[in-house]
Amino acid sequence: MPFLNFTNRVNIVCNDENNCDIRIYASSQNNKFYVFQDNLERIKKEVKKNFPEIKFSDIKIFVEAYRDAYRKEIQWGNLETPLTDRIDFFKKRVIEESNIDRNLNEIDSSTARFRVIMVNGEKNIATSEGFRPFVVKTKDEIQKIQVPVKSALIGTYEKEMEELFTCGFHTEDPNLGQPVIYLNKKLGIKSDMSSDMRIRTLIFSKCFGELLRQSIIKPDNEYKYRLLKYAQTHNEQKNWEDLSEIFKKPDAEDFYDNLDLEEFIDNATQGYISEKDFIEKYLEEKNKLDSSDDTVEVDTNEN
């Protein structure tokens, strides 16, 4: 690769345990690597600010694997349409992006290092530091690690109000803009949710769908992007960004009448509730083993 101009380059965060733009895994069994770059909203914002004249489609993404003097560099799409492996959480398997040479060849997965570079011509747009991949035995183990639901996806708060429950976006720091469910404090709805799975499922399914709808209509903060990215994992045929574009038009139809939007929300809600049921069953069994106390309290706050 020729000399690159590093002026105003954006830093790419990779394989950070808490928050990262791109994750890379390497299999010790087949010595191949897998790339998940479906969290590039922050990168796009920084690039748009630092390089407003450059189109995302003109920014190529390269993944470089190296060890000592050996280098292997492969293009993984562009910033407009990045190539990425995905998780099918229903079938619990990794879906590989096709037509990618992902074999590490002379590099052993246990000693490999990676670097991600985004360039436009000879201009360096964004780069990561060198980092280790997450090493797994087989690619199927990735779906156990690459979990889409994080603790702060939706928060729950008790509140003095007339309704049994409602939902919206938090208006106070430190969680300003977070999708939240408000529960009637006086009536003890939070306690009812802990003891009755039917009530919990009803409240979360209704609120999840409405919070997702409002996020699609106005995706204006990182909390909403996180919710939308999760919802996308349960939708293969429709893209939330395409749906969002529809409602930016002056003659857009009512967002409660759009069938594509309703299908997207239904798919995501069903996937979310299915995963929540799984977690609840796990917690119930764990509580039975950990304690004989029949009054074990389950915290409903996802925050």
**HEC profile for 144-168?**
HHCCCCCCCCCEEEEECCCCCEEEE
Residue 65 lies in a domain: yes
- Our CA angle for 127, 131, 133, nearest 5°, is 120
Domain-ending residue, one of 113, 145, 177: 145
Q: What is the pLDDT of residue 255?
A: 65
**Whether pLDDT at 90 is above 80:** no
Q: Who has greater pLDDT, 265 or 172? A: 265
The pTM assigned to this predicted structure is 0.52
Share of the chain above pLDDT 90, in %: 42
Q: Give the pLDDT confidence of 146-161 residue by residue, as tens digits.
A: 654 344 578 888 888 9
Last residue of a domain, one of 145, 171, 197: 145
Question: What's the pLDDT band for 193 if we cut at 50, 70, 90?
Answer: confident
Mean pLDDT of 20-29: 92
Q: Mind giving me the DSSP string for 268-297?
A: HHHHHHHHHHHHHHHHHHHHHHH---TTPP
The residue-averaged pLDDT of 214-243 equals 89
When the pLDDT of each residue in the chain is averaged and rounded to a whole number, the result is 82
Structural domain range at position 198? 155-290
Count of the separate structural domains present in the chain: 2
Q: Are residues 251 and 283 in the same domain?
A: yes
pLDDT at residue 211 greater than cutoff 90: yes
Residue 251 maps to a domain: yes
What pLDDT is recorded for position 297? 35
pLDDT at 114: 96
Check residues 73 and 145 and name the one with the higher pLDDT.
73
Check whether residue 105 and residue 30 sit in a common domain. Answer: yes
- Residue that has been written with the tokens 């791109």 in this structure: 22
How far apart (Å, rounded) are the C-alpha atoms in residues 93 and 98? 15
Residues 134, 49 share a domain = yes
Q: Would you tell me the crossing angle of helices 197-217 and 259-290 to the nearest 10 degrees?
A: 140
Output the pLDDT for position 120.
Answer: 95
Domain final residue, candidates 124, 145, 166: 145
103 and 166 part of one domain: no
Residue 302 included in any domain: no
Tens digits of residue pLDDT in 244-254: 888 777 666 66
Whether residues 213 and 277 fall in one domain: yes
